[in-house]
Amino acid sequence: MPEQAIILYIEDNPDNQRLVQKVLSANGYSIAIAEDGTDGVTLARASQPTLILVDLGIPGLDGYETTTRLRGLPHLEAVPIIALTADSTAGSRERALVAGCDGYLVKPIDPRLLPRQIDEFIAGKREVVPADAEAELLRVYSRKLVERLEEQVRELSRANAELKEIDRMKSQFLATLSHELRTPLTSLVGYLELFDRGLLGELSQSQRDALSVMRRSGETLTQQLNNLLYFQELRMRKFVFASVLLQERLGPLLDTSRHRAAQRQIRFEVIFAPLAPLNADGSAIEMLLRNLIDNAIKFSPSGGRVLVSLRDEPEAVLIRVADTGPGIPPEAHEKIFLPFYQVDTTLARNYPGSGLGLAIVRHIAEAHGGSVHVRSQPQQGSVFTVTLPR
């Protein structure tokens, strides 16, 4: 027996696993166990077993199919594959051999015989199918394989169609919900703004304070719904590119942001050198900047500072939003751009949000051939930079 013979045993039954492990390791073999066919193939690919023992009744890819697959791996060409089965009906030995096995052992395993049987196969023993029966056996086996394949394809197609339908219903539900919520919310926020501006009569200071809070909450809700809608429609979304003057297009957003920042005692500064027109989707760029500014204000403490700068480079427009918030740990710098990812995932987190804003920012930047990246350290604020190539 070779010094370091490794037996790969593909078997899902824990009792058999234990028994074979015990018997063979007592005889100096090292055993690797795979729970099913696909696991077995993965293990076999990554190693060089001396012999493979396959239970024919494993779930999923069955023992015959697993053997045929293993036989196709060039580094296993000379490795004996031995079937182990409780099925002792007529023809089952031949089926195993035609699938690619070199031998066939019937369960229950006899612990006294097993080591010698294994030794014999390692030493070169091979069982063969009688030549006159081989062609017919192969024909039957390949027909069975195709039938199984057909069944699996049908099952997968059915499952896929079901998933698509569920996904469609979920999208439809979210879109309807967001639309239905947004319409009444728009009029609520509109009226609150009229009150807030004193256009519907004089209010006491405490009423004004309460209205401000309501208005801010309404705006946050509107933005979350807009993000949800945008995200739902992401795949079908068509960008409309046109020549855009960013200072005109983004002016109103910057004004309302300044106002919102002031309400939270946050200094809001804008450095906006006049830019040459950019070929872009104006409403998408507005959405991008709104999300970055919203985050900067949301995460900044009272007394903090938000700096927005837009700058022309020879080849690109740079949009930068910097804040003095809590910062983002380096290991989260990539993940924050994934949908639904939030650094703090506790329900009691201090900042409202759905985790969609930055995924949308990245989607829009990339749809313009650009990119977004973050520079940030915990407790040292964050700087988000979007590059939009000309």
Closest to ligand ADP by CB, 207 vs 351, is 351
Closest to ligand ADP by CB, 220 vs 247, is 220
**Contacts within 8 Å (CB) and 24+ apart, 21-26:** 22/111, 23/109, 23/111, 23/114, 23/115, 24/114, 24/115, 24/118
The pair of structure tokens assigned to 248 is 């005109």
Any contact of residue 261 with ligand ADP (CB under 6 A)? no
Find the binding residues for ligand ADP in span 93-152 (CB under 6 A).
none
Near ligand ADP by CB under 6 A, which window of 84-92, 97-105, 281-289, 291-299?
A: 291-299
Near ligand ADP by CB under 6 A, which window of 2-10, 127-135, 231-239, 339-347?
A: 339-347
Strand 103-106's sheet: what is its strand order? 30-34, 6-10, 51-55, 81-85, 103-106
Any contact of residue 323 with ligand ADP (CB under 6 A)? yes
Any contact of residue 289 with ligand ADP (CB under 6 A)? no
Any contact of residue 220 with ligand ADP (CB under 6 A)? no
* Residue of 234, 254, 318, 343 interacting with ligand ADP (CB under 6 A): 343
Phi-psi region of 381 (alpha: psi -120 to 50; beta: other; left: phi over 0): left
Residue 301 CB, nearest distance to ligand ADP (Å)?
Answer: 11
Q: Residue 364 and residue 384: Cα distance in Å, rounded? A: 14
Residue 332 CB, nearest distance to ligand ADP (Å)?
Answer: 7
Among 308, 362, 322, which residue's Cα sits nearest to residue 339?
362
Q: Residue 363 and residue 366: Cα distance in Å, rounded? A: 5
Any contact of residue 364 with ligand ADP (CB under 6 A)? no
Any contact of residue 354 with ligand ADP (CB under 6 A)? yes
* Residue of 382, 386, 387, 388 interacting with ligand ADP (CB under 6 A): 382
The pair of structure tokens assigned to 65 is 């199919």
- Which amino acid, 228? L
Among 295, 208, 229, which residue's Cα sits nearest to residue 257?
295
CB 228 within 8 A of CB 354: yes
CB 12 within 8 A of CB 34: no
Q: Residue 278 and residue 288: Cα distance in Å, rounded? A: 15
Closest to ligand ADP by CB, 239 vs 340, is 340
Near ligand ADP by CB under 6 A, which window of 45-53, 150-158, 188-196, 318-326?
A: 318-326
Closest to ligand ADP by CB, 118 vs 266, is 266
Residue 299 CB, nearest distance to ligand ADP (Å)?
Answer: 4
Question: How many Cβ atoms from other residues are within 10 Å of residue 172's Cβ?
Answer: 11
* Dihedral sign of CA atoms 174, 177, 181, 183 in order: positive
Residue 118 CB, nearest distance to ligand ADP (Å)?
Answer: 57
Near ligand ADP by CB under 6 A, which window of 72-80, 113-121, 236-244, 292-300?
A: 292-300
Any contact of residue 355 with ligand ADP (CB under 6 A)? yes
Residue 368 CB, nearest distance to ligand ADP (Å)?
Answer: 18
Residue 51: which H helix or E strand, with range?
strand 51-55
Mode of pairing for the β-strands spanning 81-85 and 316-323: unpaired
Residue 338 CB, nearest distance to ligand ADP (Å)?
Answer: 8
Any contact of residue 342 with ligand ADP (CB under 6 A)? yes
User: Number of residues in contact with ligand ADP, rule: CB under 6 A?
Assistant: 21
Give the residues lining the site for ligand ADP (CB under 6 A): 291, 295-296, 299, 323, 325-326, 328, 336, 341-344, 353-359, 382
